[in-house]
Amino acid sequence: MGIFGKLFSKEEKTARLEQGLEKTKESVFSKLTKAIAGKSKVDDEVLDELEEVLISSDVGVSTTVKIIERIEARVARDKYVSTSDLQAILRDEIAALLLGDDNQDDSPEIPSQKPFVLMVVGVNGVGKTTTIGKLAHQYKSAGLKVVLGAADTFRAAAVDQLTIWSERVGVPIVKQAMGSDPASVAFDALQSALAQDADVVIIDTAGRLHNKVNLMNELSKIKRVMQKLIPDAPHEVLLVLDGSTGQNALEQAKQFSKATDVSALAVTKLDGTAKGGVVIGISDQLNIPVKYIGVGEQMEDLQIFNKRSFVNSLFN
């Protein structure tokens, strides 16, 4: 059993996932059903309709083209493919494009480094603070000692929100006055974590993207300062994206990838949108694994991303 196995059962996780992806599923399948109605085989007309369905579901043009080309190659190879086979083929091809493990019992691995330093980035409003709070809850529920660092010092609300989450979850937070140097807060957070023999440190950062050069410089400085205490910190840079913004989320991901070394993604708010297809496009185009998805408001609704479970939930 993974370290988070005791938080919720596999059946509960699957039910929450399917419920959270319901809007995307309904959108995709109502369109797909219309596209293949009355057709017996996959021909150019069906593929054109499928292309339109995928693009309208925010999979993205380049990823959609890749999926269509794979299906075309399969149709050419197998000579005859019926529309009843299309769903299974589509499921396989989408799963093949997604990065990550498809082990049904997967769980996040905690590296041997202690403390494990997780730096969280993303624009304001994507659910960054909520994601940090839910991650802190999951780590703590797994028996790990967690420290939060409020390095988004440019918004009083950001520090206040993270403080509320720290109290709710019951983990310590390191913060300074509004306008303080974010790198100084990160340094203090790591120093506190080392003193407390903590297992995990989660550092929040400012969610500004209007000036990429400033963002790059700020994030680079935070890294440099943290490395004075822990040479290989941060061990992970998690970019949080709002799935309901569709292709805008993909554009944000591209910009942040230029500003810092993003190593994992969390896609939030999938339960409130029919644009869940953006998860496929983001994973494919950026070649960065989606590690978490948000499918609801509850603590356990920030789920460890499992590509096979995700695709199965869309096609069930």
Of the candidates 101, 54, 133, 47, the residue with the CA atom closest to the CA atom of residue 314: 54
- What does the pLDDT read at residue 120? 97
Q: What is the DSSP letter of 300?
A: G
60 sits in the region (left: phi over 0; alpha: psi -120 to 50; else beta) called left
Reported as a single tens digit per residue, the pLDDT across 232-271 is 999 999 999 999 998 899 888 988 888 889 999 999 999 9
Over range 261-287, report the average pLDDT.
91
Q: For residue 7, how many other CB atoms are within 10 A of its CB?
A: 16
Three-state DSSP class for 98? coil
Reported as a single tens digit per residue, the pLDDT across 135-190 is 999 999 889 999 999 999 988 899 999 999 999 999 999 999 999 999 999 999 99
Could you tell me the pLDDT band of residue 198, with boundaries at 50, 70 and 90? very high
Tokens (6 digits) for 192: 């506190």
Over range 36-62, report the average pLDDT.
88
Of the candidates 149, 147, 148, 154, the residue with the CA atom closest to the CA atom of residue 124: 154
Structural domains in the chain? 11-97 (1.20.120.140), 116-306 (3.40.50.300)
Q: Residue 104 pLDDT > 50, yes or no?
A: no
- Cβ atoms of residues 71 and 27 within 8 Å: no
Could you tell me the pLDDT band of residue 103, with boundaries at 50, 70 and 90? low
Helix-strand-coil percent breakdown of the chain, rounded to 5? 55, 15, 35
What is the chain's mean pLDDT, rounded?
87
- What does the pLDDT read at residue 5? 40
CA angle, residues 316, 265, 30, in degrees to nearest 5: 25
- Cβ atoms of residues 188 and 149 within 8 Å: yes
Over range 11-25, report the average pLDDT.
83
Give the separation between CA 139 and CA 137, rounded to whole angstroms: 6
What's the one-letter identity of residue 297?
E
Could you tell me the pLDDT band of residue 111, with boundaries at 50, 70 and 90? low
Percent of the chain with pLDDT over 70: 92
Could you tell me the pLDDT band of residue 2, with boundaries at 50, 70 and 90? very low
pTM higher than 0.75, yes or no?
yes
- What does the pLDDT read at residue 189? 98
Over range 3-14, report the average pLDDT.
61
- Cβ atoms of residues 213 and 172 within 8 Å: no
Residue the block writes with tokens 């990160």: 186
> Which range among 61-70, 143-152, 230-239, 295-304 shows the weakest confidence by mean pLDDT?
295-304
